[in-house]
Amino acid sequence: MATCTRPPSLTAPAKVDCAVHFGQIVRFAYRRRIKTKAFATVAAMKTLAAWNAALTATDETKIILTPIFTSFIIPGSEAQFAGENDNSSVNGMGYLTGYNAVKPTGQYVGLPGDIKATLELLEEESRAELGTAPMELWGITPDNRIISVAENGIPFANYFIGSVDSQGFKALNLNTFGFSLDGKWDKGVTITQADFDLVSTYAEVVG
């Protein structure tokens, strides 16, 4: 029978000295999730040389960068309960069973068809049936901050990119994209300032 050993007292959270906000995410770096790290350390991840090596790799360690996108939103996960509001739990309070996966989405504006076709290849690469999260990503903000788990990418699955949405007169062509994240995906997430202009240095997707 499993035992549950608890500390002698509750663990107090540290005082919040600096607020943490991601801000706007406008670009992603994607890679297959493999045992070999993309970057040796956080210090390496900040450098142009390390990114050049990752972007020009010709094996599974290769990273690709997306075009710039807009309207990216990450919804918060919701707690899931069993036996809630019925006789199977005391006072119908239920039992916490975990958290739902979340589906962030964004939009490409005026995306050319050939580049969309390249992004569509990620649908096969990221299918959940290939593994819990077969790919990883690094988020990039307009001020060149990198959102990751230290030097490692954030695991994800089920990338998708929809057909073009065109509303006619004076409207822009839009393609919605997204993927699935675990309900606790933000555990250990960090924000690192790059030492170079990661947003505009690579204006096109590196093939």
The predicted-structure confidence for 134-155, as pLDDT tens digits, reads as follows 999 999 999 999 999 999 999 9
Low-confidence ranges of the chain (pLDDT < 70): 1-2, 201-207
Whether 99 is covered by a domain: the verdict is yes
Whether 97 is covered by a domain: the verdict is yes
Query: What percent of the chain is modeled with pLDDT above 90?
Result: 91
Whether 75 is covered by a domain: the verdict is yes
pLDDT at 202: 61
pLDDT at 122: 98
Of 99, 95, 93, 97, the residue nearest 78 (C-alpha) = 99
Whether 171 is covered by a domain: the verdict is yes
pLDDT at 12: 95
Query: What is d(CA 30, CA 156) in angstroms, rounded to the nearest whole number?
Result: 10
Domain containing 136 equals 27-85+92-193
Is 0.85 topped by the overall pTM? Answer: yes
* Terminal Cα-to-Cα distance of the chain (whole angstroms): 53
Whether 184 is covered by a domain: the verdict is yes
Whether 205 is covered by a domain: the verdict is no
Whether 4 is covered by a domain: the verdict is no
Whether 163 is covered by a domain: the verdict is yes
Number of domains in the chain: 1
Contact 126, 181 (CB under 8 A): no
Query: What is d(CA 160, CA 130) in angstroms, rounded to the nearest whole number?
Result: 15
pLDDT at 169: 97
pLDDT at 5: 87
Encoded tokens for 91 = 């006072």
pLDDT at 131: 82
**pLDDT tens-place string over residues 86-105:** 999 999 999 999 999 999 99
30: left (phi over 0), alpha (psi -120 to 50) or beta: beta
